[in-house]
Amino acid sequence: MPPVPLLHPRLLLLAALAALQPSPAQASLMKPVLDLMRPQLETRITRTCVDALAGSIPELTKQLEQPCRGLAAPTSRCLVRETATSGKELTVLGELLRQELGPESERIVKRCIAQLVGLPAASLEGLSLQQLAERFRSTRR
């Protein structure tokens, strides 16, 4: 029987580090939980959309309900998909449970905004959500 070749210590270390990295299967272990949260997420997105666009005009509120609901579905799917593949699901879930938009949640939101408007996913990473909102407001005037 031929002798088993010894691995160089650096190769062994690299192999061990690679084994510790989350695989796509491990990164999406929380996806079922995220999917359960989608209806609540869609409701919040719809409400935020209607409130932002209708303001205090009651007639607009009713007219905007369906278009905003239509926007909420692909948005929530994107948010769940991007969160599940981020490897940061527990961080994002913690931010959601605290009802805050932390750094990981913000990064995922910006990736989805970019994708939904047809930009490369990482194209908005240099801007904060506050800057995006201000730019949106200034273009509406």
In a domain, 40, yes or no: yes
Contact 80, 28 (CB under 8 A): no
| Geometric angle at alpha carbon 138, from 133 and 141, rounded to 5° | 130
In a domain, 38, yes or no: yes
In a domain, 5, yes or no: no
In a domain, 17, yes or no: no
Q: What is the pLDDT of residue 13?
A: 43
Q: How confident is the model at residue 127 (pLDDT cuts 50, 70, 90)?
A: confident
Distance CA 69, CA 44 (A): 10
The CB density around residue 111, as the number of other CB atoms within 10 Å, is 24
Q: CB-based contacts of 51: which residues, under 8 Å, 6+ apart?
A: none
Distance CA 136, CA 141 (A): 9
In a domain, 23, yes or no: no
The total number of structural domains that make up the chain = 1
In a domain, 122, yes or no: yes
Q: CB-based contacts of 102: which residues, under 8 Å, 6+ apart?
A: 91, 92, 94, 95
Range of the domain at 96: 28-140
Write the pLDDT tens digit of every residue in 69-102: 998 999 999 999 999 988 888 888 888 778 788 8
Write the pLDDT tens digit of every residue in 26-76: 546 778 888 888 898 899 889 888 888 888 888 889 999 999 999 899 999
